[in-house]
Structure 1
């Protein structure tokens, strides 16, 4: 299956699938989702905003996610993973608190004192650069859903089939370009998959605002 050249190309391809959206709010999950969402917002001629999420990691191995949290929402745990590790949500309370602080820092870095746009009654498109376990996307969708939008769409270039299937229960629509059988990691489906910095995110948001 052909790879995307980069996140910008993937975003342009996704934008064609989303062009009939009616005056949506586009929310990107930083950092990588912002690079995908910028061409979408430009194509739809709507503002681009970020919805900050953080993974809740297993303390001995933080790369292993046991949940996630999104701004405006409560922690969403992978209870199957917690049971497998012999843990409970209370076991990672300290991790959750640290991630809340980092989430708040990033919200301030990306938006300052500017709040999220009103979502109630609006069509909302949540964008990320790919879905592996889907933990942060799930937390984001639940936080958005709590704001009572008219419709919630999750848009991603690529994702693991099982994850995409499970997230169809969280969103009204999931728009995904590729669900490869041999999915192992999001980055393998991009020729260029550079890690983005906060400065990169701010640059993309500034570009979108112009």
Structure 2
């Protein structure tokens, strides 16, 4: 399944979630910016939900920043993938410098994207965390762990496309994982979109203000 762009993927994901939850489920829809926002918008509109963000950052392997060995979300603790640490030949202590840098970037993005708005309050609600795709799933895992610590009634992870291993791993943290396509081999998220342009901070701010 190849998606035209993130907005089209969001519409398809919204159809699937509406079938599962109902059109007026009124969930809290938390997008992972940057790429998750254009996907989450159609989901929130279709389900009559409140749209907000949960900010997370991948902790990349030293020298290979695109390969996630862990992640952080909001003010939560780091979450590591033991298999990815082993594959990269590093330890949690060995990525301390990367963690510090990503924590600083996360704080910058929280300040920029959220400004003076309050942190989302998931307690007692159905919460859907949305991203544009799941490669290793480690960033989504950190976001789910952060939301779970705030007492949602039901926690759902939703993405248009993902690696089968990532989908299965997230099932231990979410009550439900919805992934429209799980190609194997997976390659990368962008492989499954015709248009996968990189979004900027300005794009996120404009989307939130709309």
Shared topology, TM-score over 0.5? yes
SS of residue in 2 equivalent to 1:39: helix
> How far off is 1:121 after superposition?
0.9
d(CA) in 1 for partners of 2:196, 2:3:
10
Report the TM-score when normalising by structure 1. Answer: 0.93
d(CA) in 2 for partners of 1:30, 1:202:
10
Name the counterpart of 1:9.
8
> How far off is 1:189 after superposition?
0.8
**Contact 1:38/1:205 (CA < 8 Å) preserved in 2?**
no
Cα deviation, 1:159-203, whole Å, max 9, x if unaligned, reads: 111111111111000111111123211111111110000111112
Task: Tell me the number of residue pairs that the alignment of Structure 1 and Structure 2 aligns.
Answer: 206
SS of residue in 1 equivalent to 2:180: strand
d(CA) in 2 for partners of 1:132, 1:103:
20
**Contact 1:11/1:40 (CA < 8 Å) preserved in 2?**
yes
Q: Does 1:151 align with 2:154?
A: yes
Name the counterpart of 1:172.
175
Cα deviation, 1:67-118, whole Å, max 9, x if unaligned, reads: 1101131100112222344432112112111111100100111110212221
1:124 to 124, 127, 130: 127
RMSD, aligned CA: 1.3
Query: Using CA pairs below 8 Å that are at least 6 residues apart, which structure has the higher relative contact order?
Result: 1
d(CA) in 1 for partners of 2:140, 2:185:
21
Q: Which runs of 5+ in 1 are unaligned?
A: none
SS of residue in 1 equivalent to 2:157: strand
Cα deviation, 1:8-64, whole Å, max 9, x if unaligned, reads: 011011111222253211000011100100111121222211111101112222222
**Contact 1:123/1:151 (CA < 8 Å) preserved in 2?**
yes
**Contact 1:53/1:70 (CA < 8 Å) preserved in 2?**
yes
SS of residue in 2 equivalent to 1:67: strand
Q: Which runs of 5+ in 2 are unaligned?
A: none
